[in-house]
Structure 1
């Protein structure tokens, strides 16, 4: 006779809260749904208490209302990046040509594929693990995911013809990376976090190339820290792009958009 699996939810919540999980009740329910035996639950909880991101344990993250697969080691999409996606959607015209740089799991491209009707949509990442994950998320939509450094792997025929480029590039200053939560610095690829001495090293390269890859009237949309916006806008202006800053207090998020003049 099989003994029913009857987990102690209150004890699970207490363990998660003691480990510093802010949303312990919600996490407990998700872990209970994912585990089909006491042994499996015990393993999941032990790993969560030890600091493994919940999304890596579940194998997915919720982003903008969609469930996105997230493999171990791959950057977990943050809720704040919804502002970047919303800003991009607001700027997109009909049937845009869109590229998602530093795509990670492909979460933003997945949402844009559903919200827009792009004539082209592609994603790019330099990390092989991220590329494999993004390809899995975007396969059903037949969205190509290129492995390489920013614009480098894209077909050259797209240069000067992109209507929308988004980039959730790394923007954490190098000396601040050790101060990130352990979930990020121990379980996500450093290349997805470290933005160089002032956090803008990768974004500067995105800006310079975007000025060449965008069509006249096209837009670049990037995520950044609020304290970086003055420097970022100066870089965009120097590249001949016209910047605008958007901030959302509820999401604690900042997005910078920039248009290539017609």
Structure 2
């Protein structure tokens, strides 16, 4: 799937295109940067000319391509996404890569603030047989995540961060991945319209400095991690130092990982092993 290409909020409506060239032309006129790639996907998804026109119309009026198609490509997996759910970003694949490098033999994985469950599904697909738990406070996200993670034997829970998790996971988690919201409240209005208008605020707004949820996760993670287990959270470059401090205050040994290619920053915290 091509990178997300935001459309202007006043994009023109589709004149019922019926051919590939016509779809490309309509998408390009609407400001879609990856018109050819998106046209190919829309043509493949539509079963009739009427359905194609409806899909194109949804796209040119500003709906994210992933929601129009009903799926997003993430870490080699096709992730079901539904309206009102955060769409997984390509940069978050870096978090998955770092988790696998940190704990290649993980047997218990938790995807906190799971959204669609994309991170948990990607980890389970790479690790093989794992005990996977995903959790989110948003009921729409929980419903969507169930569509994705139950296919690999995963369990989905609804609740506020660790309150959602079953008690038998205490001290057993090898990988705790938390794709928390980290946009400062005052900057939410600066996000692309696709995010502001189609994704839940709870998945975007991280509080005054963007780190409210991250701090809560960092403070509670060590109780859930097994010795040597790791917590991974995505953040921004300018927030990384404060995020590292939060991890350290939570009793974790913390370090940053940076991907310049994906413009991604992940903070990794590890619980000390016994006797270390």
TM bin (shorter chain): over 0.9
Report the equivalent of 2:261. 250
After TM superposition, the structure 1 = structure 2 runs for residues 110-189 of structure 1, keeping only pairs within 5 Å, are 110-189=121-200
After TM superposition, the structure 1 = structure 2 runs for residues 202-213 of structure 1, keeping only pairs within 5 Å, are 202-213=213-224
Report the equivalent of 1:26. 37
Q: Identify the match of residue 228 of structure 1 among 229, 234, 239.
A: 239
Report the equivalent of 2:102. 91
SS at match of 1:152: helix
| Contact kept? 2:219, 2:249, Cα under 8 Å | no
C-alpha distance in 2, partners of 1:122/1:251? 27
Return 5+ residue gaps in structure 1 as ranges.
Answer: none
Q: Identify the match of residue 70 of structure 1 among 71, 81, 91.
A: 81
Q: TM-score, normalised by structure 2?
A: 0.90
Shift of 1:93: 4.4
Q: TM-score, normalised by structure 1?
A: 0.94
Shift of 1:118: 5.0
| Contact kept? 1:95, 1:118, Cα under 8 Å | no
C-alpha distance in 2, partners of 1:93/1:75? 27
Shift of 1:6: 8.6
| Contact kept? 1:109, 1:123, Cα under 8 Å | yes
Runs of 4 or more, structure 1, over 4 Å off, are none
| Contact kept? 2:220, 2:250, Cα under 8 Å | no
In the alignment, is residue 259 of structure 1 matched against residue 255 of structure 2? no
